[in-house]
Amino acid sequence: MKPDTAMPSVYIKTYGCQMNERDSEQVAAMFLAGGYKLAESEQDADVVLINTCSVREKAELKALGKMGLLCSKASERPWIVFGFMGCMVQSKTRELFDAVPRLDVVTGTRCYHRVFPLCDALLKERMANPQHGVRLKGAQICEADDLQDAHNRIRDHLPVRSSCSAFVSIMQGCEMRCSYCIVPFTRGEERSRPAADILDEVRRLVDNGVKEVTLLGQIVNRYGRHEPVAEGRGAFVRLLEAVHEVEGLERIRFTSPHPIGFREDLVQAFSYLPKLCSHIHFPMQSGSDRILRLMKRPYRQEKYMALCEAMRTARPDLAITTDVIVGFPGETQEDYLLTKSAVEQIKFDNAFIFQYSPRRGTPAADMPDQVCLREKEARNHDLLDTVNRIAIARNMALVGSRQIILVDGPSKTNANRLQGRTSQNKPVIIEQGTVKVGEIVPVTIRECTGFTLYGEVGTDHIGATQP
């Protein structure tokens, strides 16, 4: 088999959060601008990249296993370039070359602008001499003084996405230093993008058919936190207001906020910004104040619950989802039951339950009273049952109601049907009919199978006038 020298291809596999997804899209855009095409699978690609996550050990093991498997099958295509990107690179760097000897390139979270030129140069050398086996080894990690250069190089490449929704990164980094979290080490200090650049990106996305944007940040509501408050509104709320004014944009989401810095101005934004969707992903992590202190989460459960209540007052149909960690070092059965009680009181629309995973270099990894795996699994299953029971009940209550959905593509299980999402981010399956992807349409919910709703499109199509 010979490489396609006319139009080489790239395949990017992404693990982790929406920020990683957005970063992968940005890198893909650079390859497209450089004359590449997107491969449908890793078997068809000339460049194979894995964008990694380090938040949990499981994600790292998946990425390492995937890359190891791919590299083991590369003997018949010696020109292929293999690369790791992202958070695991920041935390491991040189170890990755020892773990995967066939690996060519590693690039950290601050140097995505270097991925394309590195891979392209190596691929061209290998295509010219595929039998030679040109090697390139060396971690490429941007230092702080290169951040502005990195920003300037990627700003003109819109993310690759044929969908009607898109992620927009508004800030990077985190300085909260939660005792279990490796993100401050992998993403660095907080860095907010200029509002003018963000608005320019949103306008260009809308010009390309995007109807919904999700503003991303490790702690998104700390955007521009050093800027002064103006007329009672902080920088993040002022940014929401400015994005709201973009003509043609129909929906705005943001993720993920932190209870610290979640001020009254942001709560009230839900009462007067109709494009702001009725959904918030609001990490709680624990319902025990003692565990929150050990986690170095600088809020208490009373404050968290008060914020949930205030947001639902400002937007009565608001759906709240969350993250919870079970089995944190020192967590007793009493602590766990406080978390379970909080979940039952708040009645989340859904929750991601994680068993605590030690991360090397974080304070929690060296804490005493580590909870055994058996106990973590038991709490995980029990809390998941509780979350599912509440979520299914909330979804069943929507049967017979009228909802507005943004149709974002075909159903994942039936290509003859379409899928859309409500403002509350609940998936709804509809018959294809005359509806097109990108339309905002009213539906009546006819059925619920637990986490998926099935709707019937109304005759009064509204085009794109409601979120």
Q: Could you report the per-residue pLDDT of 241-276, keeping only the tens digit for each?
A: 999 999 999 999 999 999 998 999 999 999 999 999
Please tell me the predicted confidence (pLDDT) of residue 86.
84
The reported pTM is: 0.86
Cα–Cα distance for residue pair 87/66, rounded to 1 Å: 16
β 440-448/453-457 pair status: antiparallel
Element (H, E) at 110: none
Cα–Cα distance for residue pair 445/112, rounded to 1 Å: 43
Whether pLDDT at 153 is above 70: no
Domain 402-457 adopts which CATH fold? Answer: OB fold (Dihydrolipoamide Acetyltransferase, E2P) (2.40.50)
The mean pLDDT of 140-169, rounded to a whole number, is: 56
Q: Could you report the per-residue pLDDT of 125-152, keeping only the tens digit for each?
A: 888 876 555 454 444 443 433 444 444 3
Both tokens of 370, joined, read: 């580590």
Please tell me the predicted confidence (pLDDT) of residue 458.
87
Phi-psi region of 438 (alpha: psi -120 to 50; beta: other; left: phi over 0): left
The mean pLDDT of 78-104, rounded to a whole number, is: 83
Whether pLDDT at 6 is above 80: no
Phi-psi region of 256 (alpha: psi -120 to 50; beta: other; left: phi over 0): beta
Mean of all residue pLDDT scores within the chain: 88
User: Contact, 272 vs 257, CB < 8 A?
Assistant: no
Cα–Cα distance for residue pair 343/328, rounded to 1 Å: 17
Cα–Cα distance for residue pair 209/163, rounded to 1 Å: 8
Q: How confident is the model at residue 459 (pLDDT cuts 50, 70, 90)?
A: confident
Q: How confident is the model at residue 461 (pLDDT cuts 50, 70, 90)?
A: low
The mean pLDDT of 84-88, rounded to a whole number, is: 86
Only one residue has tokens 């507005």, namely 404
Please tell me the predicted confidence (pLDDT) of residue 460.
66
The mean pLDDT of 323-331, rounded to a whole number, is: 98
Please check whether the two domains, 9-146 and 402-457, share a CATH topology. Answer: no
Sheet holding 139-140, edge to edge: 37-38, 9-14, 47-52, 81-86, 105-107, 139-140
The mean pLDDT of 433-441, rounded to a whole number, is: 91
Phi-psi region of 40 (alpha: psi -120 to 50; beta: other; left: phi over 0): alpha
Cα-based torsion angle of the residue sequence 181, 90, 51, 216 in order, rounded to the nearest 10 degrees: 50
Higher pLDDT, residue 151 or 12: 12
Q: State whether CATH 3.30.750.210 applies to domain 161-277.
A: yes
User: Contact, 240 vs 263, CB < 8 A?
Assistant: no
Both tokens of 410, joined, read: 């075909």
Please tell me the predicted confidence (pLDDT) of residue 1.
58
- Residue 171, Cα to own-chain centre: how many angstroms? 13
Cα–Cα distance for residue pair 210/215, rounded to 1 Å: 13
Expressed in angstroms, the distance from the first to the final Cα of the chain is: 50
Please tell me the predicted confidence (pLDDT) of residue 101.
81
User: Contact, 223 vs 170, CB < 8 A?
Assistant: yes
User: Could you name the CATH architecture of 288-297+306-396?
Assistant: 2-Layer Sandwich (3.30)
Phi-psi region of 463 (alpha: psi -120 to 50; beta: other; left: phi over 0): left
Q: How confident is the model at residue 214 (pLDDT cuts 50, 70, 90)?
A: very high
**Residue-range domain boundaries for the chain:** 9-146, 161-277, 288-297+306-396, 402-457
Q: Could you report the per-residue pLDDT of 38-72, keeping only the tens digit for each?
A: 998 888 899 999 998 887 778 888 889 999 888 88
Higher pLDDT, residue 464 or 61: 61
Cα–Cα distance for residue pair 271/85, rounded to 1 Å: 40
- Residue 431, Cα to own-chain centre: how many angstroms? 29
Residue 136 phi, psi dihedral angles, 5° rounding: -145, 115
Q: Could you report the per-residue pLDDT of 276-324, keeping only the tens digit for each?
A: 999 999 999 999 999 999 999 999 999 999 999 999 999 999 999 999 9
Q: Which residues of 26-53 are buried (b: 16+ CB within 10 A; e: fewer)?
A: bbbbbbbeeebeebeebeebbbbbbbbb
User: Contact, 123 vs 8, CB < 8 A?
Assistant: yes
For 63, residues 6+ apart whose C-beta sits below 8 A from its C-beta are 15, 50, 52, 53, 84, 88
Q: How confident is the model at residue 465 (pLDDT cuts 50, 70, 90)?
A: very low
The CATH number of the structural domain formed by 9-146 is: 3.40.50.12160
Please tell me the predicted confidence (pLDDT) of residue 151.
46
Whether pLDDT at 359 is above 70: yes
Q: How confident is the model at residue 110 (pLDDT cuts 50, 70, 90)?
A: confident
Cα–Cα distance for residue pair 276/268, rounded to 1 Å: 11
For 459, residues 6+ apart whose C-beta sits below 8 A from its C-beta are none
Nearest to 353 by CA among 56, 122, 153: 56
